[in-house]
Structure 1
């Protein structure tokens, strides 16, 4: 099930103009609907790096049985998320990271979605991030990881230039290191090392000026998964 974009965007109609613009720009520059459509029905979903909560809104509106738990390290964005999709009964938004959530709720999620987060971190932290995402999942749970592919195309370099503006000049997004895009072979290898079995790699860049790519991977049973709480 998938929610139309308009009802999700309506949740942000009360935000200041600058924040509404940011959410709308995100909506029309990234294939979030395509990501949401591949999340399993029902269950509990962690939206790691949720930002303003647009993907959380799509997930929650697309399936009322689904519980969405969004976390982001930026308190400003979490405040907007709480006042928008956080008003839905099946959405929770809080300040946090993948590490803090995995420490508190290991093995409690059926799916984890991560959209455009890894490239903001130093490359040496990617493996640890993915292992923490693995800790969040029940055995057999799904990770949906949306990034921009490091394919050295013009879209690759345009994406990096755009993010330099957003991160370093405008300060709209927080980054913990150099902006990095990885080729799909490297990403699939990192997923395997973190205890995932890649199930699907989907190119989503058609119609966009960014080389969007989605990795769908399954948490390998018995490979470091935390046990669910009783």
Structure 2
């Protein structure tokens, strides 16, 4: 385990066993360190932050980052706030990206990170969601979007089955009619259509049983 990840996980030692288990499972099933390493220094929005593990990694990796995490699940927000209460460069808020924009966050962020959120939304809402995230970014600001790839592989099928258990059976993750995943070429087109220029598409699935793909895109000024 990396020292950075160990430091972040220590923040969760005071949480109940079930919540600690969820955070540890997240730590070893998603390439959060790879996302952290590619995220610019500055003001960062963590959209769909959940328990706040990625927010913690971003804040600990470089104190030059100020991280604003937002999530619609009040239970996860409460746990994140409790775990990260002593981290001065992290703020966790209950709500949605649309509410952030409505509260005056337009053009405020140097970067936004979105990790395993888009597939939980109905596909009809993807365009609006991506455009709203773009609205949070300064011109030239970066979006780091991590999703599983819809490539038809056994990893793809396994990941969807696993998420069905988490969403429908256990209720550990909130969804609003989504569970859609796309090939990387199609996902890249969606980002471009939302006014973002795709700079890099990174395959992060090696060593995992989920086909992780990271899209690094830049706010394209109108």
Task: Give the TM-score band, short-chain normalised.
Answer: over 0.9
| Residue 14 (structure 1) shift | 0.3
Q: TM-score, normalised by structure 2?
A: 0.97
TM-score of the two chains, using structure 1 as the length reference: 0.94
- CA–CA distance in structure 2, aligned partners of residues 22 and 3 of structure 1: 20
CA displacement at 1:65 relative to structure 2: 1.3
Matched with 2:118 is 118
CA RMSD of aligned residues (A): 1.0
Cα distance in structure 1, aligned partners of 2:3 and 2:109: 21
Once residues 56 and 200 of structure 2 are traced to their aligned partners in structure 1, the CA distance between those partners, rounded to angstroms, is 24
Q: How many positions carry a matched residue from both structures?
A: 220
- Residues in 2 aligned to 1:48 and 1:134: alpha-carbon distance in whole angstroms: 12
Report what 1:139 is aligned to.
139
- 1:5 and 1:208 map into 2 onto residues whose CA distance is 17
CA deviations on 1:171-221 (whole Å, 9 max, x unpaired) are 000000031111111111111110100000000000000000000000002
Matches of 1:85 and 1:146 in 2, distance apart?
23
**Any idea what SS the aligned residue of 1:4 has?**
helix
User: Hey, which bits of structure 1, 4+ residues long, moved more than 2 A?
Assistant: none
Aligned match of 2:60: 61
**Is the CA contact 1:3–1:61 (under 8 Å) kept in the aligned structure 2?**
no
Q: Which residue of 2 aligns with 1:46?
A: 45
Please say if residues 15 and 80 of structure 1, whose CA atoms lie closer than 8 Å, have aligned partners that are also in contact: yes
Q: Distance in 2 between matches of 1:205 and 1:175?
A: 23
SS of the aligned residue for 2:14 comes to coil
How far apart are the structure 1 equivalents of 2:72 and 2:3? Answer: 26
CA pair 49-10 structure 1, distance change in 2 beyond 3 A: same
Corresponding residue for residue 81 of structure 1: 80
Structure 2: give runs of 5+ residues left out of the alignment: none
Provide structure 1 residue ranges, at least 5 long, that are not aligned to the other structure: 224-230
